[in-house]
Amino acid sequence: MTRSFGFSVVSEPAGCSSTGGALQCRDMKKRTLVSLSLMARWFGMNLLRETRRSLSRTSLIRALGVISASSLLSGAPSAWALPTYSVTDLAALNDAYVQSLVTTVGIGGDYRALQSAAPLGAIIGLDIGFEVALIHTPDDFRQAIQQTTNQTAPDFLPLPRLNIHKGLPGNVDLGFSFVTYSGYTVFGGEVKYAILPGNTAAPAVAVRASYNVNSLFYLNTNTFKFDALVSKNLVLFEPYFGLGIQSVSGDVKVPQGQSLPVGVSGSYSAAPMHFYVGTPLKFGLLHITAEYDHSFAGITTYGTKVSISI
């Protein structure tokens, strides 16, 4: 008797041609046909399942490819270049406008790791990439820009940055991001410690502290953030979720010869909570990461990063 895929295929015995073995042969043939039928069914079910998986992966990869291609195309300077705003009149500025300006720039332009909770490792542990954050601007921000510069702010502000991470011993990672453009400067950094490094069976758990400085438009902001996050390695994906607090402070840069309206403070500070979800899509060393971040101050940011991780 030979065995294939857990089903028995019975060969015809030598005595099958004799009259006495006719009944035994008939039973053997029936069992063989049943075994072959079961084998065919097994093959069909597995083929269907694998086909569905392949189609699902292909469709997902194609969809993510389109999103990534759009992100890369939008990375052309004409598309993602930050607008330049020159103050013409601060007379219409009020405290609500100052609050919206500071929170939009300070929280929307805050440092973002776009990394899971798992440590990079100390052997090489290097991730270098390019990120673009799209900051959804609230109504008050757009009105403040209109009132003080006579210019129109877009619904989404693009903020591109260089993004670098390095793994260290002890499940510690360091991160850094930076951009300077047309007199604007944004830079930030982080320290992350993985309490649980995680693996394919268990999730990773980490804490992260970061600091960011923005000099954008006619605003200066500083943001300190402390997060806890968890992620799960699913080989091709590594979804993560984080929750934390952002302490932001900032002020309006008053041009020479102008002044703020009487009774209006040119500075603001707050410490709202925020949460974020994201995942990298891994193609070997190439990682394409997408992230959604929402602050309870009313600022929503969409981020994407294309990086090489080794």
Cα–Cα distance measured from residue 22 to residue 167, given in angstroms and rounded to the nearest whole number: 74
Residue 31: what pLDDT? 63
Mean pLDDT of 176-202: 93
Confidence tier at 65 by pLDDT (50, 70, 90) = very low
More confidently predicted of 25 and 267: 267
Per-residue pLDDT at 13 exceeds 70: no
pLDDT digits (tens, 9 = 90+) for 81-136: 678 888 888 988 999 999 999 999 999 999 999 999 999 998 999 999 999 999 99
Sorted by sequence, the CB contacts under 8 Å of residue 135 that are 6+ apart come out as: 104, 108, 109, 156, 157, 158, 159, 299, 301
- How far is it, in rounded angstroms, from Cα 47 to Cα 41? 10
Closest CA to 125 of 81, 171, 160: 171
Which of 20-34, 35-49, 104-118 holds the top average pLDDT?
104-118
* Local structure of residue 266 (DSSP, 8 states): S
Examine the pLDDT at 38 and tell me if it is beyond 60. Answer: no
| pLDDT confidence of residue 80 | 54
Quick one: which of 302, 296, 303 has its CA closest to 103?
296
* Tokens found for residue 241: 């979720």
Q: Which two tokens stand for residue 202?
A: 């268990």
More confident residue, 128 or 6: 128
- pLDDT surpassing 60 at residue 70: no
Please tell me whether residue 44 adopts helix, strand or coil conformation. Answer: helix
Mean pLDDT of 44-57: 47
Min mean pLDDT across 24-33, 60-69, 218-227, 257-266 is at 60-69
- pLDDT band of residue 25 (cuts 50, 70, 90) is low
Of 102, 174, 192, give the one whose Cα is nearest residue 138: 102
More confident residue, 55 or 257: 257
> Sorting pLDDT into bands at 50, 70 and 90, what band is 47?
very low
Render pLDDT for 198-233 as a digit per residue (tens, 0 to 9).
988 899 999 999 999 999 999 999 999 999 999 999
What is the pLDDT at residue 87? 86
Q: State the pLDDT at residue 282.
A: 95
Report the chain's mean pLDDT, rounded to a whole number: 82
Which tens digits make up the pLDDT trace of 274-310? 999 999 999 999 999 999 999 999 999 999 999 999 9
Helical spans, DSSP H, in the chain: 22-73, 77-80, 95-108, 139-149
Cβ neighbours of residue 174 under 8 Å, at least 6 residues apart? Answer: 165, 166, 168, 189, 190, 191, 192
Residue given tokens 């029936």 in the structure block: 30
Provide the 10 A C-beta neighbour count for residue 199. 11
Long-range contacts of 201-206 (CB under 8 A, 24+ apart): 203/117, 203/230, 203/231, 203/232, 204/116, 204/117, 204/118, 204/119, 204/230, 204/231, 204/232, 204/233, 205/117, 205/229, 205/230, 206/117, 206/118, 206/119, 206/230, 206/231
201 or 77: which carries more pLDDT confidence?
A: 201
pLDDT value at residue 22:
57
